[in-house]
Amino acid sequence: MQDIFQLAYWIPLLPLLGSLLNGLGRRYMSRSMAGWIGSLSVLGSFVLSVLVFLHVKSGHSEVIHYFDFIKVGTLTIPFSFQLDALSSLFLLIITGVGFLIHVYSTAYMHEEDPDQFARYFSYLNLFVFSMLLLVLGSNYVILFIGWEGVGLCSYLLIGYWFKNPAYTAAANKAFIMNRIGDLAFLVALFWIITKSGVVGFQDFFSFVQQHQFTERFTATDITVITLLFFIGATGKSAQLPLYTWLPDAMAGPTPVSALIHAATMVTAGIYLIARSNFLYSLAPHTLHLISWVGLLTALLAASIALAQNDIKKVLAYSTVSQLGFMFLALGTGAYAAAVFHVMTHAFFKALLFLGSGSVIHAMGGEQDIRKMGGLSTKLRITYFTFLIGCIAIAGIPPFSGFFSKDAILLSVFLHSPLQYGLALFAALLTAFYMFRLLFLTFAGQFRGTEEQKHHLHESPWAMTLPLLVLAVLSVIGGWVGIPEVLLPNAEPLIQFLSPVIPVVPHAVSHETEYILMATSTVLVLLMVLAAWWRYRHYQPGVSTSPFTRLLENKWYVDEIYDKLIVQPLSWMAAWLRSVAEAKVIDGFVNGVGRAVQYSARQLRFVQSGQVGLYVLLMVLSMAVMLFIQFFIRK
């Protein structure tokens, strides 16, 4: 078993090879071949990840050095992987959920031409490779390589159907908004290099430990770096103010939304901060800001999700909101709880997205839930698993979401009662909009066309099997983090993560914990009832209030950004191009040129025209040469 770490490089390498095979050989691939290559390469990584995880679980961790990527002066950036509790947990999530989604895709994308099908799997494998690189890297530079790689794959997959201009616009928006965060990430990285001269996590943390709050590493440095990393995280993990790309990213195929824009890539920001928890614990102001940004994002996105009618858009805003919960946890110092929620969220949100894909598949591409309804009888497996996903995300015990959300709420409660109240409110909104979605889609009467009704069918096994597996995980996935009050000596996840994330014992009585759990559970159940009451016999065409319209239009945030930032920039660019460049700078240059030409015309002894002037200049330069020859010699 000792040698399993030596094979770790195969974990990202297998998907990379799969990507290259599918990408370069796409013209010669059949669909099944491309699907097999794509899925098996991720399955291989998953098996290795399980072995690595078990090895880490038995108490091992290691940094494996492959080669020096960049060496300049005293700065060395090694290409090396860090295998420890945090990375191995993410490995399991990425490859496990990733494999299921690859399998699902083989059926979901079956109408694509074979070469496009292979292109799809090539991108999807490339994404898995980049994401694995992100979590495996033992320093911030390798992490950044993965960070940019997943951004690239996200861009490629959102714009996968490149004929549709709206989709490619969404792809560009995603990449560019991410780049804003990336700039902050990079500046933080340069700051670290300038101050400490190292980039490795371990090296940097020991540097900080040694020099914290001294001349070499002041409190300002800590605040600046943590803030900048957080801004980077708001881009990748879709938080205020950089979240608007994620709902648009639903333009990509649904399995992509499940894998990239719900389960894995968008949690990279949480990974970054959890990885740097040592640094963040020294920056109380940054943490305070993170908790508020996370909380406000959770509330804002949940409110928008209440009024969306596109099945994927509801889930997208739900993802933004859940990510907000994770940042709230980070902000209150509950790093392990955030990671816990990353895991359970990966299960139930991937399940919900894949379930929505199954619905869209059955409805012939329809995504508007107002035109659905009554699907529970026709799509039994989809319905059943979707229901489990809803229960899990709403936070009803003993489903997985309950435990992770409970851990977050407890930490927030200890941190600030006001924030707890707001967070609980956001959690209740979650329950409401998720069950609204469930009832609108599956309950009541079918509201689509006759043709759609005729075609309704359950999806093939390649799609339902991943749903079932994820449903099981959504039920039991939370049991690895059952709090101590319910099961003494439990919380193995927190114990497992303790080498990376130190355990902070919290002084809270069991009674308080029981009360908190009971309150949230009862209130959530009430919200489910309310949703059932309101939407069980939904009929479209109910008049909407101004507030609902405000929510439907997403608080007009996109429009505000467009008016305040995009358009002024665009005007400025046009002005620079047509006035500053053409008239001012070039005008000046040409003016000087004309003046010279004018005087040259006065002086001309040779023919008119350009060649003449050229000769004149030659003569001039020769004269200068002669001048050197004769005069300087003396």
Partner 1 sequence: MIALLILLIPLLGGLVSFMIGDHKKWVGPVFLLAAGLQFLLVLLALTSWDQPELHRFSAAWMSDVGSSFSLSLDPLGKVLCLLNAVVYFLLALYLQGRSMQKPGAFYGWLLLAQAGMMGVFLATDGLLFYFCWELALIPMYFLSSIWGGPRRIAVTFKFFIYTFLGSILLLAGLIYLQSLTPEKSFALDAILKLNLTNTQQSWLLWLILPAFAIKLPLFPFHTWQPDAYEEAPTPVTLVLSAVMVKMGILGLLRWLLPILPVAAYQWGDVIMGLAVGGIVYASLIAWRQDDLKRLVAYSSIAHIGLMGAAAFAGNLGSLQGLCFQLFAHGINIMGMWFLVDLIERNLGTRKIADLGGLAQRSPGLTLFMVIIAFANIALPLTNGFVGEFLMFTGLLATKSNYYWVFTVVAGSGIILSAVYMLGMIRSVFFGEGPSQPLPPVKLSVQEQLVLLIVVGLIFVFGLFPQPLLDVTASYSDNLFKQIDISYLFKNF
Give residues in contact with partner 1 (CB under 8 A): 67-73, 75, 115, 141, 144-145, 148-149, 152, 155, 159, 162-165, 168-169, 171-172, 175-176, 179-180, 182-183, 186-187, 190-191, 193-194, 569-570, 572-574, 576-577, 580-581, 585-586, 589-590, 593, 596, 610, 613-614, 617, 621, 624, 628-629, 632-633
Minimum distance from residue 80 beta carbon to partner 1 (Å): 14
Minimum distance from residue 333 beta carbon to partner 1 (Å): 29
When the beta carbons of 186 and 490 are compared against partner 1, the nearer one is 186
| DSSP annotation of 478 | G
DSSP-derived 3-state class of residue 63: strand
145 in Cβ contact with 132 (< 8 Å): no
The Cβ-side half-sphere exposure at 153, using a 13 Å CA radius, reads 29
The Cβ-side half-sphere exposure at 424, using a 13 Å CA radius, reads 20
When the beta carbons of 46 and 230 are compared against partner 1, the nearer one is 230
Q: Give the integer Cα–Cα distance in Å for 91 and 94.
A: 5
248 in Cβ contact with 173 (< 8 Å): yes
455-466 burial code (b ≥16 CB/10 A, e <16): ebebbeebbbbb
When the beta carbons of 544 and 590 are compared against partner 1, the nearer one is 590
When the beta carbons of 165 and 546 are compared against partner 1, the nearer one is 165
Q: Give the integer Cα–Cα distance in Å for 224 and 134.
A: 23
Minimum distance from residue 582 beta carbon to partner 1 (Å): 9
CA separation, residue 357 to residues 78, 166, 306 (Å): 41, 20, 20
When the beta carbons of 163 and 454 are compared against partner 1, the nearer one is 163
Minimum distance from residue 397 beta carbon to partner 1 (Å): 43
Minimum distance from residue 218 beta carbon to partner 1 (Å): 15
Q: Give the integer Cα–Cα distance in Å for 149 and 128.
A: 10
Minimum distance from residue 79 beta carbon to partner 1 (Å): 8
When the beta carbons of 605 and 631 are compared against partner 1, the nearer one is 631
Cα maximum dimension of the chain = 106
**DSSP alpha helices (H): ranges in 25-139?**
31-57, 85-108, 114-136
Minimum distance from residue 211 beta carbon to partner 1 (Å): 17
Residue 398's contacts (CB-CB under 8 Å, 6 or more residues apart) are: 475, 478, 479
Count, in order, helices (H) and strands (E) of the chain: 27, 2
Minimum distance from residue 142 beta carbon to partner 1 (Å): 9
When the beta carbons of 526 and 617 are compared against partner 1, the nearer one is 617
CA separation, residue 433 to residues 294, 308, 430, 443, 523 (Å): 19, 9, 5, 15, 14
When the beta carbons of 58 and 629 are compared against partner 1, the nearer one is 629
Among 383, 396, 393, which residue's Cα sits nearest to residue 440? 383
When the beta carbons of 27 and 454 are compared against partner 1, the nearer one is 27
Minimum distance from residue 140 beta carbon to partner 1 (Å): 11
Q: Which tokens go with 280?
A: 């963040």
